[in-house]
Amino acid sequence: MNFIYNNKVKILSRKEVAPNIFLIKLSAPSVAQEALPGQFIHIKCSKDNYPLLRRPLSIHRIDKEKGEIFILFQAVGEGTKILADRTIGDDLDITGPIGNGFNIYPESRKIMIVGGGIGVAPLLALGEESIRQGKEVRVLISALKKELVIGEESFKILGAKVDVATDDGSYQFKGLVTDLLERIIKEGWLADQIFACGPKPMLKKISEITLPANINYQVSMEERMACGIGACLGCVCKIKTKDKRKYRVKYEYKRVCIDGPVFPGNEVVWDD
């Protein structure tokens, strides 16, 4: 895990890609060189000291050659609303890249990526790296309705096959993305690894689907963070591990910021 502190990065572009969802490109050469899919940056959203706390945002895309990274986020609170109003040319104060990223196995041939809503944010960089490694990539995206579908064209440009599930049936599959995943598995498309980010009920259901099939499953967890460096213990989640000496399951709390944000999905205690 690498930390790069007090980076001043510049906003190169800003676009509202869906209602209240923004894509910002940053000139950040040192971060781009170090970043891995699944890591995040901690951003000081305003030019002054309000709000006090930084906001953790996943790295959406990484362009090492150009020294650029992208962030994709929803403007829902004071901090992200202020960030969404920043303009091209502004400098941002960030720390990062922070955390542990996704682990793509060399032997894996087929990769399934599942994004629920704004959970798509950390997954495009993963798709790019999977394609670069020659994997067959299939992507499932979920949204409440057609207007809120994000990332579909970006994944298609990479060469991934993309399916979309909308709650109201206004676009492609009607229903939950987990129902779509089960249907695809029953049709015979079985991934070697599944990666997901989104609402906890979705992540829990995928865990229930993948466990009997013995599919490696990794999740990017979304939790509120204060410090972003593991000191405040405000973003812990419960993880089950094996006690090798006593051959039984034990539990411990992991910090999402630096122990994650990526965890083995079948080790997360979803009902805690």
**Three-state secondary structure string covering 100-151:** ECCCCCCCCCEEEEEEEHHHHCCHHHHHHHHHHCCCEEEEEEEECCHHHCCC
Model confidence pLDDT, tens digit, residues 60-109: 999 999 999 999 999 999 999 999 999 999 999 999 899 999 999 999 99
Domains (range + CATH), the chain: 7-98 (2.40.30.10), 110-221 (3.40.50.80)
HSE of 231, CA atoms in CB hemisphere, 13 A: 4
Query: In this structure, what is the dihedral angle of CA atoms 9, 236, 249, 196, given to the nearest 10 degrees?
Result: -50
Write down the pLDDT at residue 6: 63
Strand residues in 123-270 grouped as ranges (E): 136-143, 161-166, 173-174, 193-197, 216-220, 236-243, 248-255, 262-264
Write down the pLDDT at residue 246: 61
What is residue 157's DSSP assignment?
H
Backbone angles phi, psi at 119, to 5 degrees: -65, -10
Q: Residues of 41-55 as b/e, b for ≥16 C-beta within 10 angstroms? A: bbbbbbeeeeeebbb
Please give the Cα distance from 180 to 125 (Å, whole number).
23
Contact 10, 86 (CB under 8 A): no
Write down the pLDDT at residue 271: 84
Write down the pLDDT at residue 124: 98
Write down the pLDDT at residue 2: 52
Please give the Cα distance from 57 to 22 (Å, whole number).
12
- pLDDT by position in tens, the chain (length 272): 455 456 899 999 999 999 999 999 999 999 999 999 999 999 999 888 888 888 999 999 999 999 999 999 999 999 999 999 999 999 999 998 999 999 999 999 999 999 999 999 999 999 999 999 999 999 999 999 999 999 999 999 999 999 999 999 999 999 999 999 999 999 999 999 999 999 999 999 999 999 888 899 999 997 777 777 777 777 888 888 876 666 678 888 888 888 889 999 999 998 86
The verdict on whether omega for the bond into residue 29 sits within 30 degrees of 0, i.e. cis, is no
Write down the pLDDT at residue 242: 73
Please give the Cα distance from 219 to 268 (Å, whole number).
9
Write down the pLDDT at residue 1: 46
List all residues 6 or more positions away from 246 whose beta carbon is below 8 Å from its beta carbon: none
What is residue 27's DSSP assignment?
E
The verdict on whether omega for the bond into residue 37 sits within 30 degrees of 0, i.e. cis, is no
Structure tokens at 194: 């599944």
